[in-house]
Amino acid sequence: MEHQEPAFRRGNPLLPTGAADNMFPDPHIKIFVNPDTGKENMYVYVGHDEGKGQFIMRDWYVLFSEDLVHWQCKKSLARKDTYLPPDSTDCWACDVVRSPWDGKYYLYYSHGGESTGVAVSDRPDGPFVDARGKTPILPKGITPTNSYDPDVILPDDQDSRAWIVFGSDWTDHYWAMQLKENMTEVVPGSARHVAVYPDENTKEELLGVLRSDQAEAFHYGDTWYLYWAGRYATSDCRLGPYIFRGNIGADIPHYPDGRAFIDHGSFLEWKGQWYYAVSCGTESWSYRQSWLMYLHVCDDGTLMFDEEIRQFGVGQYNAAWDKIQAEWYMEIESPGLRKIELKQDGKHAGFAIAQDGGTHAARYPHVYGMTENMRMTLCLQGEEGAAVEVLADGKTVGSLRLARALPTLTEVGIPLCCAPGEHEITLHLTGRMTIDWFRLT
């Protein structure tokens, strides 16, 4: 994977066009409609690190993109428009949601490790202005924990209420309070302790080394996840109690002693793919960047990502790579086509895409470095008569129909008739089929 075409570049950490640097930490990722284009964008709400050896953070920013390859950046909330002192350097993590009641966008921001404010805008990219007359929505002391690093959970079919989750292990771990429908006040007396236990049999809080600050709650299927600094726990309920399950960042070396440094993270599903954004330290714990990866979930609930995508970023592919994993798609026709876990001898053996029948598509945009009339090799299994049609920029450039069933993953080839350059590759699959990866040669 060392060879790269000139147009292909590393997409991680995120570096928006025109930004002076890429020191944007504490990402919260959301999908909203861009009011200027009418198209969905991914919005990444971040702070901006300026200090090495100490946190110096003066404002809040938003990065946004349609294709997750090309990013723009703007200041979303200025310190002067909040209750923070004019010279404050404590513009810590924020979260943004679109209210289901009034349709406005609410940005919940941290004043250091002490309190939380809220700002509002008619646009997802701001500018946001303080929504409470420059007073905090979560003042210091409202619960036993530190009232900062907010994560907002909106209503769903199981709970018609909105909640704001916050806290740290410095005092009394994580707490939640119910938000009123105006999104600028909490319901008095609604504070709930969000417990995290080491295992099903231990009803004592997880302590010390396994705890951190910002918590992100999201649900995958029927399971709720609570994430903090690489670690995660699961529950049947949004406010827990949660059971500790693992550390998605355990194998990421950063410092010379091999110790990993990742902290704030955020998760969402878009067009059938799950994404994981996380801030990682550089030479200093206080000087961080945001990275975006595909998220994969094993059958037992374990969270995983790919090291190649951590390095190179999402939404783009190099035709010179030895393999392009099928689960690195940017869009599938879900639920007919789905991501699955592969196993060998009962052990994890990667991921693939699969369908039980019908015709569905998987899209891989920005495939750089394709040459004229390449050959695609696919590792697949499928029933007799199952077919693959390969499209480049919407035009059919190759196809294959299985003359016999392939009960195990087998390499098959398809000659392609296409011009050199960058293309969007789409796989149209028909019939029962599983694809592990494909290669372009």
Tell me what pLDDT residue 172 has: 74
Cα–Cα distance between 171 and 146 in angstroms, integer?
A: 7
Q: How many residues does the chain have?
A: 441
Pair of tokens at residue 257? 């002693």
Cα dist from 422 to 8, 144, 366, whole Å: 10, 55, 6
Distance CA 306, CA 56 (A): 32
What is the bridge-based pairing of β-strands 196-197 and 242-247? parallel
pLDDT at 282: 84
Q: Which of 301, 214, 208, 304 is nearest to 265 (CA)?
A: 214
| Amino acid at residue number 166 | F
Residue numbers of the chain with a pLDDT score lower than 50: 1-5, 258-259
**What per-residue confidence (pLDDT) applies to 73?**
96
Q: How far is the C-alpha of 316 from the C-alpha of 68, rounded, in Å? A: 9
Going by C-alpha positions, the residue among 429, 432, 423 that lies closest to residue 440 is 423
Q: Calculate ∠ Cα 290-291-294, nearest 5°.
A: 145
Q: Which two tokens stand for residue 32?
A: 């909203």
Q: What is the pLDDT of residue 206?
A: 78
Q: Which helix (H) or strand (E) holds 307?
A: helix 307-312
The pLDDT score that the predictor gives to residue 2 is 47
Q: Which residue type occupies 156?
A: D
CB-based contacts of 371, cutoff 8 Å, min separation 6: 319, 420
Helix ranges (H only) for 233-306 are: none
Fill in the amino acid letter for 229: A
- Residue 281 has a pLDDT of 83
Give CA 30 to chain center in angstroms.
Answer: 9
Question: What domains can you pick out in the chain, each with its CATH number?
Answer: 28-312 (2.115.10.20), 317-440 (2.60.120.260)
Going by C-alpha positions, the residue among 330, 344, 356 that lies closest to residue 433 is: 356
Distance from C-alpha of 43 to C-alpha of 165, rounded to nearest angstrom: 20
CB 96 within 8 Å of CB 42: no
Which pLDDT does position 5 carry in this prediction? Answer: 42
Token pair recorded at residue 297? 């979930």
If one counts every other C-beta atom within 10 angstroms of the C-beta of residue 389, the result is 18
**What's the pLDDT at 53?**
84
The predicted pLDDT at position 71 comes to 97
Q: What angle is formed at CA 206 by the lines to CA 201 and CA 210, rounded to 5 degrees? A: 130
Phi, psi for 84 (deg, rounded to 5): -70, 150
What's the confidence (pLDDT) of residue 286? 83
pLDDT of residue 258: 47
pLDDT tens, residue by residue, 73-92: 999 999 999 999 999 999 99
* Strand-by-strand arrangement of the 231-235 sheet: 196-197, 242-247, 231-235, 223-228, 216-220
Residues 6+ apart with CB under 8 A from 81: 119, 127, 128, 129, 130
Distance between CA atoms of residues 312 and 85, nearest Å = 39
Predicted model pTM: 0.95
